[in-house]
Structure 1
């Protein structure tokens, strides 16, 4: 459950006003991407700080990605359905961005660091080399989740070789080029609509 979000008129308000203004030029009627019901504005309670490692074994703190908007999803490699679906949407959203896709940093941040080693994440994300996997110690992964208010909990599976699975929040997150969390996006949004939102943060 996301905490209450105060109404803000900073960057989001400016972006929305700019989109509406530009849509009116030349008689165009383009819809404001931020008005999509799947777009959730984040409050200042979301910090977006983490100290992890990437799937190449390199240090990956939030500072490393400043200068580019971040497009992130929290999941785990052995997830049977929800995470593969979200990663498919993430990849398709990058495709929908065309040449602008290299102006954002897509991240898959594990909620299951006990199993998701850098090697596991690298193999899991081999289908799209634009997406970078992040993992770390259980403590570091927990701090990364807390920083973004991401719910995740281990669920034991008594009669399964997996041993356990993870229940977790199913949302994309957008951080601006200064590393400030600004939006959560429902994974039910279309790749085209997600791409339209992401392009606002690189324009």
Structure 2
């Protein structure tokens, strides 16, 4: 009898926790939806998030950053989307993009001198460049050619080519921390014993540390 009572109590506690988490998550998404509907995010904003695939974990370890993915916010008929390099490069509704991350965690950053650089003609060029990139394969090897693209490369190249701005200096693969077992496993899986350590690369954390950007909105990762 005592065991049945304990089991019943455990079920009640589990259901209470599930209900609390579900309600909290629902409230969080409602707040996000209100921000999107109010137009709080604008064309050209850069949005960062954290995810937990094996590659994302390796990226966070190699860069010592909470960020593992990044995209550019773009508007179409008043609705907000994110241009991002996944498989393949695509344009994703902002709400869907945010919900996909860990605990709906995100950080939005904006160019400090936005009105100076993001003039109408150049925004048009940026959107055109973005549309030309849509459909390209995701670059799992982090090469610097345009044949395939990874997330931070896409953001860096659009800002450089459309607005003439290098958001951050490029690094080489060897500049990151490649010492953890998780990073070593990904590196060996992708490159074997000869990783391209001299390859030019840019990471989400490099963009987040740009002196040209500032934070306009964040939902903290718990």
Q: Give the TM-score range, shorter chain.
A: under 0.3
- Greater radius of gyration (CA): 2
Normalising by structure 1, report the TM-score: 0.27
Normalized per residue, the structure richer in strand is 1
Normalized per residue, the structure richer in helix is 2
